[in-house]
Each structure stands twice: as C-alpha cells, then as structure tokens.
Amino acid sequence: MPLDGQTSMGGRTRQATISRRDGQTTATALAAAPIGMFDSGVGGLSVLRALRAQFPHESVLYFADQGHVPYGPRPLEEVRAFATAITRFLLDQGAKMIVVACNAASAAALHALRRAFPQVPFVGMEPAVKPAAESTRSGVVGVLATPATFQGALYASVVERFADNVRLLQDTCPGLVGQIERGALDDSATRAILERALRPMLAQGMDTVVLGCTHYPFVIPLIQEIVGPAVRVIDPAPAVARQIGRILEAMRLKASATATGRLHGFTSGDATALTAAFAHLLGVSVPVTPVRWTEDLQIQIAQ
C-alpha cells in the first residue's frame, strides 16, 4: 500500500522513477516522495526517530523484515538477497532514496545495492569507530554489534582506517536483538546480556562504547546504568540522519517545509507487533501493511 498521494509502480510513481532518469519531472514532485527505510526489525526505528527529529517534513516508508529477524547471525549472502528484494519493493512503492537502517544489512549489502541500483541514493550504517577513536582517553573502545557486522568488509575498512592506535573490544550480545524486538528494554534478561558484555570491557579500561546495531540505542539508558557517567555511549543515528539531510539537499530531494511528514510501515512479520513498536518506541500511531515473501525471494502485499 503506497503512502497517501502515491501510487504503485504502475502509476505516477513509476512515471516519477522514469522521469528522474530522463530529467522530465520537477524537483518538487520528486521531493514530495517518501524515503524508503528498512531493517530486520524495529532497530531502524532508532534511525527513524533521529530523522524525524531533524527533518519532520519527510515522509517515510519503513520496512521491518520481522519474518527474518535477526539478520546478524545469518550468512552475508542471504542478508544481501533480502536487502536487494526489500530495496526493489520500496522503490516500487515510490521511495526517492533508500536508507539501510541496519548495520548487518549495510555490512552485507550496501556496496552491492549501489551497484545494482546506480541511480538511487543510498545511506547505510557505519560503525562509529572513527568518533570513538578520536574521543577515547583510555585508548580502549568497546563495540557492540552482531556477527554479520563484524564479519563485513565495511567494519574491517573502518577499523583499518581509524583504529590504528585504539584497542577495540568486541561483543555480539547474543539474544539482545530478540529482547528489544519483544519490547523488553529493561528486564533482568536484557540487563544480564549487557552486563556479560560490558563488565569485562570496563575491567580492561574501556571509556567509550560504540553501538554497532540500530536496535541497541533503545537500551542506552540501561547501558548507561551499567557503565556509569564516565563512559561515553555513541549512538550513530543522529549522524546518519544528518547525512540523509545532506544527500537530500544536494540532490534537491528535500521535502518542502510545509509538507506533512507521513509514516507507513510494512512488515513480513506480525503487523500488530510493529504497530505496537511504533507506539512504544516512537510514541506515534502508524498504519502497517503486512507483506509476505515468495519462494523466489520476492515481496508481495499480504492478502
């Protein structure tokens, strides 16, 4: 279901996509189109929250692939296939740009997506190792991320470029994404996962924590309780939102300041659960359309 005022690829959105290539439509018409954003689940809502704080007039189509959550333990090739299909679906719904609001999907697929869709602007997630390396006083930085992120070339590149003089302590926090998907942001099980990851890092002198999964900002209050006020916790979402804004400005795709920013959700899981997550995590009521995956990894609106 496209956003209000949009049509599927068969109608005006299809024409807008063609016109963007041919230069036959106005920048104003394209600027009114929504941003497409996706994650394996609700983690990308942390990026959406930052985006709405900075650019409230932008409309967003948010795709939560909750039928496959979490992405972190999955093979990179599988995540890449999911990301490609979701990108195609969001473009079919009229998205003017794609935000890969998932560290695992960015690590697995961002370069491939840019090759596959060369005319589409993309913004992905990069572990905030650079600002951590620049700000650490002890020279010891903790990185919390999923296996797919740690295994990806993107993380390796960031470490190589920016972490020469820093000691990185890594943990995959098994089970944490599932806890956040369930809305268990501060229960004993969530605390136990974070305590197990963070206490050994603190013992080794860590003074900065990088959140390398978009789910993790939703447990920042609990992380701060554990690590204390002397440890800096880096949430990359505000920086990602600023990058989205820079690209929109540069490409003349920024929505009008008089526009009403609308949200619409899609999920391959339970639509009721995603609706509840929007309310719980962002405090907004958002219509959610269920979708289903076909055997050949295509996405269809569920009937």
pLDDT in tens, 57-101: 999 999 999 999 999 999 999 999 999 999 999 999 999 999 999
Helix H or strand E encompassing 96: none
Examine the domain organization and report whether 293 and 231 are in the same domain.
Answer: no
- Measured distance CA(301)–CA(293) in Å, rounded: 9
Least reliable range by pLDDT among 22-26, 165-169, 272-276: 22-26
Mean per-residue pLDDT for 171-178?
A: 96
pLDDT of residue 1: 34
CA distance 293 to 234: 35
Q: How does the average pLDDT of the chain come out, rounded?
A: 91
> Tokens for 146?
């999923």
Q: Are residues 95 and 243 in the same domain?
A: yes
Annotated catalytic residue, options 45, 102, 227, 277:
102
Higher-pLDDT residue of 223, 12: 223
In this structure, the answer to whether residues 40 and 169 fall within a common structural domain is no
Whether 259 and 292 map to the same domain: the answer is: yes
8 A C-beta contact, residue 266 and residue 63: yes
The confidence band for 257, taking pLDDT boundaries of 50, 70 and 90, is: very high
Residues 119 and 247 occupy one common structural domain: yes
- Which CATH number fits the domain that encloses residue 168? 3.40.50.1860
Same domain, 247 and 289: yes
Strand partners, 170: 143
pLDDT for the residue numbered 19: 43
The model's pLDDT over 119-144, given as tens digits with 9 standing for 90+, comes to: 999 999 998 999 999 999 999 999 99
**Domain interval for residue 220:** 129-235
Q: Which residue has the tokens 């490609």?
A: 84
- The model's pLDDT over 225-249, given as tens digits with 9 standing for 90+, comes to 999 999 999 999 999 999 999 999 9
> Is residue 104 located within the same domain as residue 250?
yes
pLDDT tens digit string along 12-35? Answer: 333 344 344 444 456 678 899 999
* 173 labelled catalytic: no
Same-domain pairing of 107 and 29: yes
* Long-range pairs of 227-234 with CB within 8 A, sequence gap ≥ 24: 227/198, 227/202, 231/202, 231/206, 231/207, 232/132, 232/135, 232/207, 232/208, 233/208, 233/209, 234/128, 234/131, 234/132, 234/208, 234/209, 234/210
Asked whether residue 59 is assigned to any structural domain, the reply reads: yes
End-of-domain residue from the set 235, 257, 281: 235
Inform me whether the pLDDT recorded for 167 exceeds 70: yes
SS3 for 157? helix
Exactly one of 209, 213, 219, 237 is catalytic; name it: 213
Q: Is residue 221 part of a domain?
A: yes
Share of the chain above pLDDT 90, in %: 86
Residue 5: inside a domain: no
| pTM, rounded to two decimals | 0.89
Domain boundary pick from 235, 261, 281: 235
Q: Is residue 6 part of a domain?
A: no
- pLDDT for position 153: 86
Based on its alpha-carbon atoms, the radius of gyration of the chain, rounded to whole angstroms, reads: 19
Q: Considering 186, 213, 235, which residue would you say is the last residue of a domain?
A: 235
Residues 171 and 217 in one domain: yes
